[in-house]
Amino acid sequence: MVTGTDSRRRTRANIIEVATRLLREQGAAAVTTRAVAQAAGMQAPTIYRFFEDKDALLDAVAEHVFSIYTAEKALTEAGDDPVADLRAGWDAHIGFGLANGALFGLLTDPARRSPAAEAGMAVLRARVHRVAAAGRLRVPERRAVELVHAAGTGAVLALLAVPPSERDLGLADAMYEAVAHAILTDAPHLPDGDALTVAFRAVVPELPTLTAGERTLLTEWLDRES
């Protein structure tokens, strides 16, 4: 039995799917309420029953597509090499951005706060944390996350600004190598002092023999050292 709530949910999902297709094929300018309504086989006023305006519809489209991408990233099983997993995440990020140029522009707009984008950042933080715990990180985790995120976003935007036939995809590889050189150590078995401090800092919250106060004090000391 299809209820009114189910019908409304399906109609909203259909509008988002149609708008997503228009965005991918023709860009953000093509996503007008009239165009979406026509492609979805409904009257334009119907759109306004679900979305206040075009910006609200675009927000929903961006959230929908990026939520799927983020969920797939979160379900990817961690491998034995956290550094390789970090690189794989970088490659996936670059690939998603280039395949979804119009959406990427929406997601990187500072004025738009996206729960899906935050979920993606959580995945990145988890990957960086594994690198730190393995003794491969020479900078604090927060700095590493911010550097990877900024470099990845910048690389995609720079490539999107160039016609596809003229893009130098090696730019993204070079950007990753530069960031990796800045944040990673060469070997996990002989970490330098900074990497050892960062690695210890990463596992402090998981030490069961320490009290909460002891973990706090140790964390503060390690923060000063790093």
> What is the tens place of the pLDDT at every residue in 21-58?
888 888 878 888 889 999 999 998 899 999 888 888 88
CATH of domain 59-225: 1.10.357
Residue 146 has what pLDDT?
96
Q: Mention the CATH class of domain 1-51.
A: mainly alpha
- Residues of the chain with pLDDT below 70 are 1-4, 73-77, 187-226
Separation CA 187–CA 202 (nearest Å)? 17
The burial class, CB within 10 Å (0-12 / 13-18 / 19+), for 158 is middle
* pTM: predicted TM-score of the whole model, two decimal places: 0.69
Separation CA 184–CA 187 (nearest Å)? 9
Q: Are 152 and 169 in contact (CB under 8 A)?
A: no
**Residue showing tokens 């993606």:** 120
Residue 121 has what pLDDT?
87
Domain map (residue ranges) of the chain? 1-51, 59-225
Q: CA of 199: how far to CAs of 124, 137, 170, 182, 223, in Å?
A: 17, 7, 31, 16, 12
